[in-house]
Structure 1
């Protein structure tokens, strides 16, 4: 503990008064305002500052570390800081600030790219936090924006510090301690703090801000769904409305940032919206366009389509068709079957089949549930099973005899599908008679099945209303 504390203290002292480099983009824009400073409004300068988390941190630190009288108030909003300093003095001070590009380029391109990624996340976090705070009619949106922009500041400073000083101490990601050292207002600290009993605005903030990073891994992740449900609960909105707000903001943000940043293009988020994609406006020759288009991630597209089906409440047959397509076209599984639970027969019957000829036995597959085997166990609760070379000897005696006789695969995945607490069937997929299902197949197979279960459950809830 002592070592951790000493590392943290050294890090805090390193950044206590040290000038924080800003983005060259910010400096250029501020320089362009100097000649017409008398005509510039504080809000115009504040918008430039807010897009640069490093400049935001420096301004708020400077204002809150200043000597204060008993009548002085904390400064939270960037525009308030600019009003206190004055537009012209502010421009003269920060238009000549050191830039991160001057200390990192051209030698450290990779680290610079990581820094730009943090900047992008901070901008996105600020936008989303602003939108949802306004939906809650928060009276002090400036506090929300400042906390969102500063959320990943320690990571950005950790990237920069070795390039400012070779003897820089080891980085600490304790953002709260850093902001306390800088005497940041309590309103910002409360929105950062996670160990205290949170107020409603803090709950909303902690649900919204991490989305800017988590969405990078795909919007079908369970943790994202939980955050959306939290936002919906705080705002008293339907989950579908929260999702619509989020997708609209992501696409609008990517279109805006795509003009000045190569991190993400608007196409990254188009697949989240229903309907056809807008036609490209480019007039380049077709051959050049074909060469410039990267290979599609078919698996991600199919999973996104399945997720949207659940959000939009499409019919059950379409949900299962999308799940089968995701397994076949996205994951490359060869033989796929959704077997429906027939309660009257106490059996599973193949309902949706993919990857076999019309005369293949898979179409007529019927698995009795009278005797205990692996599939009867799967139907007891939502769970999955992966048969492979390592466990074949152990589990082969427990396979349904109909499956062994008619299918014969020695490697496959299976997962039960539930709607609420009730089993409705089971999805089976393999890589052909002699093919092998690997861990990558199994991991994404489970994700697809979970998406299908959620879509069916959502559809059932809509139908019951």
Structure 2
């Protein structure tokens, strides 16, 4: 891709990259090539006696990669003084001519290859980031808010991992594209399955290593991202929905006043419309932006279109589709050229790491089947007295149930000893950390992956869905195709062929746990077990809600 382009080192190809720490370590020293025309203009100005700082700033501002390198070097210089870079103008002026000349000599120019999907996706990701930054700047200027240029930089660098991954891990990104566009798997879940984390996690890890601004890191932090429920309420607020209570309105007012909120919103918009301006995912976004700006929807759409066109004029690479061009497309089923061709895959497969996951822990070997093969778990209670007693205590109340842990322990006892389920896992929800972790497992070896599995609830999946409202999911061979796109690959690999049951348990303040149950590797559950599993979990929710009153 660049003049000095060479195959990656053998260590990079053979090591397994999975998780944000591994990716940050791999990517932190990788180069970002610059558009040749931008680099040529910068070098020409630096070698000219008549050039001014204003001239240099103009060139740097019009190229995201030049902006990144200049700001990063300026951040290093300012960190030693205990100060920060507030804008591109500030970065250029604080460095001066000689350091800028040294930077330009280290940078590599991009060799434009019209046939390279990898290169087009890299340049496209730069254009998306530039589009997001332009939108954020225009919004903050319209609202007359401070820190406009600092927010512009944070929005520009928000998706820095997208740039780096298309450059240095195109095989992984290609696999994500296939999962999202062909298999219809949620973007975040696909990223987590292939990379071991989301691209947003990698962006934050890289920004921390590179010493980018606190605002950039805060915006990239998944912990500060609003949940899907919060986004739905923001849309309700934009529409003036009277069902929102005072507490919800206060929570939303606090969120939209955060400095990172427009940065996230701008990048969501840029990512969504890069797929399709008329997609269903894009329908609610302009309403939320209109509410944030205090404008009518048609005024907001005009502003967004103007911002998109301006960003595309400032940064455009011939041969790549600009964000503004997407606005002109009518809805179509014609597939985009998002995937690496077979020819390109052969050319680059030896240069970059393969999308390989760490070897999963081995499943426990099931015991030998008895002489008379049993295929279904018997449709009968293992101990009717324990099952009925547990259910009665949940429904009518029990004086020894004084805290939620007692009810959850009773639930496990009722499912295992009463209903007779062979394998049950109690997964406790941590709403502050947005995680779901196995706390108690019955019928599984301690080394079994399900006995210690932890699920990130910030990633859309069946588990996130179950923690948003009470529900039961019965995964079977007949509906596995439907649910598989919503289950993390590492978890799906451990579900037996006969399927499993999943149900959430709630109290008044929210989710407490998600219970997993299956019949083991050789048996199958029936509607008999599904109905009683659902009944007992529902009764436990009733008991927990009664306790919190």
TM-score by length of 1: 0.49
TM-score (norm 2): 0.42
